[in-house]
Chain A
Amino acid sequence: MVPLSYYLVLSGVLFACGVTGFLIKRNIITIFMSIELMLNGVNLSFVAFAAHWHTLSGQVFVFFVMVVAAAEAAVGLAIIISVYRTRETLNIDQVNLLKL
């Protein structure tokens, strides 16, 4: 039996990778993947706790998160494509029309 803390540490590391990637990357697809990474880091801690306490609610939560993430991926990728079509770039620093 793998102890709970291992899962939690892995979950934390995954989340931290996601945050770091989100902050330092400029490519919008990479940023998108970083967000998925964060979501999955959180998912991991959910299922780890669910298994540890023998409850189902954690598992159910994860399904919800995955469904929402899928929907978000669909919408987000559509936006990315449309951005690329108009701006011909994926660098978010150049997508700054709303900035002062």
Chain B
Amino acid sequence: MSRAGVIRALLFFGVLTALPFAVTAHWIVNLGVFTLIYAGLASAWNLVGGLAGYPSLGHAAFFGAGAYAEAIYFQHRDAGANGLMPFLVLPIVGAGVAVLGLAVGWIAMRTRSDVFAIVTITLLFVAQTLAFNLNSLTGGSQGIGMPPAPFDVDTYERPFYLVLVLLLAVSMGVTWAALHSGAGLSLQAVAADEERARGIGVHVTGVKLLAFAVSVGIAGMIGGVWAYYVSFIYPQFAVDPLITIGMVLMAYLGGRGTLWGPVLGAFVLVPAQQYLAYQYGATQLYLIAYAAVFLLIMLLLPRGILPSLSHLLRRRHAATGRSPDETTQDPADAASTEAGTVAEEMAR
């Protein structure tokens, strides 16, 4: 990792961790919790949808699986005196969901692009139907309640917030590793041309299944934290198409396939989403508003903020800083301004 990259990551996570200690207003930390949930989900989705080029629309099913796993844990054990036990079981929840992901991915990843998207979205609806119907396990439409965590009322959100920061760091760390390692190169080869990658000896199936399993495992753990946080889960909220579409949209908005893009997308969209839900939630108008925002982003910024920004800055620099004959060169070496380099590095 470049030094600027290390500094940027340390700064980002430093500020993020400090926030709930500096600001204690419940609504802000609560907004932070939801922003982190989606940032983590978008970042995890990006491993499969961005890096491997498999546009999964079923991730909310695994988020829901994690949420139910956590809720079911509570039916056998309580939160413990300090309330941290539910967090400590998260790795087990994540591993379980990842194994589930392996099985699903093994079948679903026989298909590609649009058919893969169809199969995964169908999976999502099936998961929701399962959650409604497996009464003995999920409580059906009654849902499952969990006792509230024994945390101090004034800083109730803080532990959840910090665990989510950790999960976001894991997700971004995996993404960074995927962008800078042999396995990551294989993954990008799969996205670029799967048949050719297979032809030159990349373990295509293994690599993409690994990406899928890790990605849904992280989504499952985030689902677990969410369940513990909201302390009452119903099928329609735990396995919600809006969660899938939220993480996908955020990854697209920020720039999919990039390290920072999905996180940026979440930090822009979640506050907007929460505002719309508060303002219009009762009247369903928020669905229309949400669809409108969604369509605008897709039509105006189909490549996402970071790639568009770095493209723009490179072009601008190429047009002003170099002589005309040099502007036809690869725009990549034209970027040397501070801003251009930052946007470009973030886009990578």
- Are A and B co-members of a single complex? no
User: Which residues on A are within 8 Å of B, measured CB to CB?
Assistant: none
